[in-house]
Chain A
Amino acid sequence: MKLQGKTALVTGASRGIGREIALELARNGANVAINYSGSKERAEQVAEEITGFGREAFVIQANVGEADQVQNMIKETISRFGSIDILVNNAGVTRDNLLMRMKDDEWDDVININLKGVFLTTKAVTRSMMKQRSGRIINISSIVGVTGNPGQSNYVASKAGVIGLTKSTAKELSSRGITVNAVAPGFIETDMTDKLTEDIQDEMRKQIPLARFGSPSDVAKVVLFLSSDDASYMTGQTLHVDGGMVM
């Protein structure tokens, strides 16, 4: 198993892509801390599934946009597992609106969780990764962070920010054996994309060379790769998992 003996923390792991990432890492040998913000029961279901694979799992509540909650989450995880070898910054929200109509709090909420959350969590975990001279950080961006998308200026800015943050962090931490990469999913079937209308979904499908929407598992398998020794010579990269939508 690729991740035998490793420990991982996945933020926003109670559902969608984060859930599938947590399960995929566990299937491949990792013990996994499951962060959630609101969905405690769903987070506990993920933990139960993981325990079913014979791995350790526990759930931890934290709003990743709040520094003290993030520090507590990292501390708690390290005290339970002894280390964090793999951090997956997945937690994210949307508050879509046209720029002209966007309220300050719609902007701030999305930037706080999607971008500042990655900064805070990475900062908090770096201390122990630097000490152990190894670590894998995988940030979940989005293909719209590369292309832009109308009605999502806040989300797109946060996801483009994640790509820049990934590159800077990769450069700062490379000498300490820590790699930092991003994954930019395209259209993946989750609660977040279910909100889009049928028309928009049809329109999007036409733009995908592989002519189908992705599944959370398509993303999780790429995260698994980046978490493993197979990706040890990659850092600062953004991998598109989008059926060829953006080339």
Chain B
Amino acid sequence: MAEVMDRVTKIIVDRLGVDESEVKLEASFKEDLGADSLDVVELVMELEDEFDMVISDEDAEKIGTVGDAVNYIQEKV
């Protein structure tokens, strides 16, 4: 869990230019972290590369918060 969270956090910090302290499980990409729709698509792409997985469009649409992403990856890895 911690390891996945760290890797996800790093990607979010790099991509969205937010402070590490803002990346909490309950944080919404759009509401709290200033991402637009295209940023979220890009984040999902980077998570796919980072964790070497394919996230379907249907699943990707359900990822709205940092916790959603971490849980999803946790289940699949």
Contacts and interface: CB of A to CB of B under 8 A. Distances in A.
A219 to B, nearest CB: 31
A127 B42 CA distance: 8
A176 B38 CA distance: 9
Contacts of A176: 38
B14 to A, nearest CB: 13
B45 interface: yes
A130 B42 CA distance: 8
A131 B44 CA distance: 12
A175 B45 contact: no
Contacts of A172: 38
Interface string B42-53: 100100000000
Interface residues of A, number: 6
Interface in B3-58: 38, 42, 45
Interface in A174-209: 175-176
A84 B35 CA distance: 27
Interface string A121-159: 000000100110000000000000000000000000000
A218 to B, nearest CB: 36
A127 B45 contact: yes
B46 to A, nearest CB: 9
Contacts of B45: 127, 130-131
Contacts of B42: 130
Nearest to B39: A175
A210 to B, nearest CB: 41
Nearest to B41: A130
Contacts of A175: 38
A96 to B, nearest CB: 35
Contacts of A130: 42, 45
A130 B43 CA distance: 11
B60 to A, nearest CB: 12
Nearest to B45: A127
Contacts of A127: 45
Nearest to A176: B38
A103 B35 CA distance: 46
Nearest to B37: A172
Interface string A205-228: 000000000000000000000000
A131 B42 CA distance: 8
A175 B42 CA distance: 12
Nearest to B36: A175
B19 to A, nearest CB: 22
Contacts of A131: 45
B5 to A, nearest CB: 24
Contacts of B38: 172, 175-176
A175 B35 CA distance: 13
Nearest to A128: B45
7 contacts: A127-B45, A130-B42, A130-B45, A131-B45, A172-B38, A175-B38, A176-B38
A-B pairs, top 3 by smallest CB distance, nearest first, are: A127-B45, A130-B42, A175-B38
